[in-house]
Amino acid sequence: MATNQNKKTTTKTTTTTRKSSTFWGLNKISMYTIVAVAILYVISLLLACVNVNLKVVSALQGVATAIMISIVAVLAWRYVKAKPAVWKVLYVICLLLVIVGIIVPLVI
């Protein structure tokens, strides 16, 4: 009987470890993404200060925003994929609107 209790405890510990390692993985991805985007924004800020072409600065800011949106889109899909079809349709519509919102200002 003591063996059954030990197995249950081990299983719970393994499940907790998997959840926490996924949690820390997402935190690491988020941190590195913020660092990369911050570097892109600093470069675009410096280029704007020295009066480099506005299109170049806008493009760098667009790339930084696209990187953040990509990471968020992957994490959102992980959340939505187990939901009903309505959630998936909402996800696709919102993602398309965000992409259009990034691309249109760069083109105009």
Torsion of CA 86, 91, 97, 98, to 10 degrees: 160
Q: What is the mean pLDDT of the chain?
A: 77
Domain hosting 64: range is 2-107
pLDDT digit string, tens, across residues 79-107 = 888 999 999 999 999 988 888 877 777 67
Q: What is the pTM of this model?
A: 0.58
What is the number of domains present in the chain? Answer: 1
In the chain, the amino acid numbered 85 is A
